Amino acid sequence: MKMSQGEVKGRFAEPYHPEQFQNHEEVIVFTREEFNRTYRALQEHINHIEKIYFKFETGENWKLLGYWPEIMGKTHLLDVNMDSLFKKELQQCYLDVYLNNIIGDSEKKVVPSRRKVSVKL
Amino acid sequence: MRYSYGIVDKKKILLYQPQLFLRRDEILIFPSRDFHAWYGDIKEYLDSLYQINAKNIGESEPISLTELTLAVGIINELAEELECLFDCENKVDLSYQYISTMAERYKKLSSNYSSDMRKCDIRIPVKPEITPYLKYQHIMEIIRHAEREFERSRSNLKDKPKNSQ
């Protein structure tokens, strides 16, 4: 698919590769950060399902009883992520991530030296 | 997710909803029809996974190995389709577009974690810590209440014969 990154400048968007698109073509524009997040989430879920499959050995069919709901859970998440591409609302789970990501206090208490440090001249 | 359609005008793109984006936002631009075709393809794969699951909803037998391999095959196709989005050489097939019409009831996942299990797992934190002193006070309260009730019933019994006379 022909695509390009770009930058928003007011009412216009300036693509870095304008030659990819034809004149008067309709395009859809996403923010790179949000699309990146969703795309990586999709890849993560797919990897997880594949890992479940690799873990599974053919002799142990009874384990499928437990693995299958996990696989279906991940497909549900894939579905939710795909739906979120066209939803205008912000996803609550990502907002929660940002809320919890509090950077700790980096102020270290400086203890004054009790001994005077001798300076060798 | 914030998205907007736009139209290519010479070397710029006129956005239909520019108010959603901040100035100097980094954006990704896709052709609209190609993107919808890609989206439909991914949705089709996901719906097929739901279909495999839906077949097993009423059945007593659990999922079989063949169905698992089928599902993993679909997942591999899905992964490839996902990568096609950023593959410039790839020509998108615009002759076919899938729109998901699957009913929501097939997407409901029956979990083995029942509501009873959840009630057992809920741990309600109690504000006052239950100390042995508190337990003793609680028992004493019950005993005192029982004592009062007992005295009351005994006094009633004593009164009644006197009143009847």
Give the residue with greater pLDDT, B120 vs B128: B120
Q: How far apart are the first and last CA of chain B?
A: 88
What's at A58, amino acid-wise? Answer: T
Q: Which residues on B lie below 8 Å from A13 (Cβ)? A: 6, 12-13, 15, 21, 27, 29
Provide, as residue numbers in chain A, all residues whose Cβ is less than 8 Å from the Cβ of B63.
64-65, 68
ipTM: 0.76
pLDDT at B143: 93
Separation between Cα atoms, residue A58 and residue A49, nearest integer Å: 16
pLDDT at B29: 93
At A29, is the pLDDT very low, low, confident or very high (cuts 50, 70, 90)? very high
Closest-CA residue of B relative to A77 is B46
**Inter-chain Cβ pairs, chain A and chain B, closer than 8 A:** 216
**pLDDT at res. A94:** 67
Helix (H, G, I), strand (E, B) or coil at A59: coil
Q: Where are the alpha helices (DSSP H) in B15-131?
A: 32-55, 65-84, 115-121
Q: Pick the residue of B4, B5, B12, B13 with the most A CBs within 10 A to test the interface with A by mutation.
A: B13
Instruction: Provide, as residue numbers in chain A, all residues whose Cβ is less than 8 Å from the Cβ of B28.
Output: 3-6, 29-32, 35
Q: What does the radius of gyration of chain B's CA atoms come to, in whole angstroms?
A: 34
Q: Do A3 and B78 touch (CB under 8 A)?
A: no
| Per-residue pLDDT tens digits for B94-111 | 888 888 888 888 887 776
Predicted confidence at residue B159, as pLDDT, reads 79
Identify the DSSP state of A106: -
Average pLDDT over residues B58-78: 86
CA-based nearest distance A102→chain B, Å? 23
* Each residue's pLDDT tens digit, A70-120: 898 899 999 989 999 998 877 766 666 555 555 555 556 556 666 666 666
Residue range B140-151: mean pLDDT, rounded? 92
Looking at residue A97, what is its pLDDT?
58
Whether the CB of B94 is below 8 Å from some CB of chain A: the reply is no
Is the model's pTM score more than 0.80? no
Provide, as residue numbers in chain A, all residues whose Cβ is less than 8 Å from the Cβ of B32. Answer: 25-28
Partner residues linked to B5 by β-bridges: A28
User: Is there a contact between A68 and B62 if contact means CB atoms under 8 Å apart?
Assistant: yes
More confident residue, B91 or B19: B19
* DSSP code, position A62: G
β-pair partners for A13: A8, B13
Q: For A1-121, where are the alpha helices, taking DSSP H only?
A: 32-55, 64-84, 92-100
Burial of B98 (0-12, 13-18, 19+ CB in 10 A): middle
Confidence at residue A116, expressed as pLDDT on a 0 to 100 scale: 63
Boundaries of every domain in chain B: 6-121, 125-165
Contact A2 B23 (CB under 8 A): no
**Which residues, in sequence order, are CB contacts of B111 under 8 Å at separation 6+?**
A69
The mean of the pLDDT values for chain B is 85
Per-chain mean pLDDT for chain A = 81
Range of lowest pLDDT (A16-20, B49-53, B159-163): B159-163
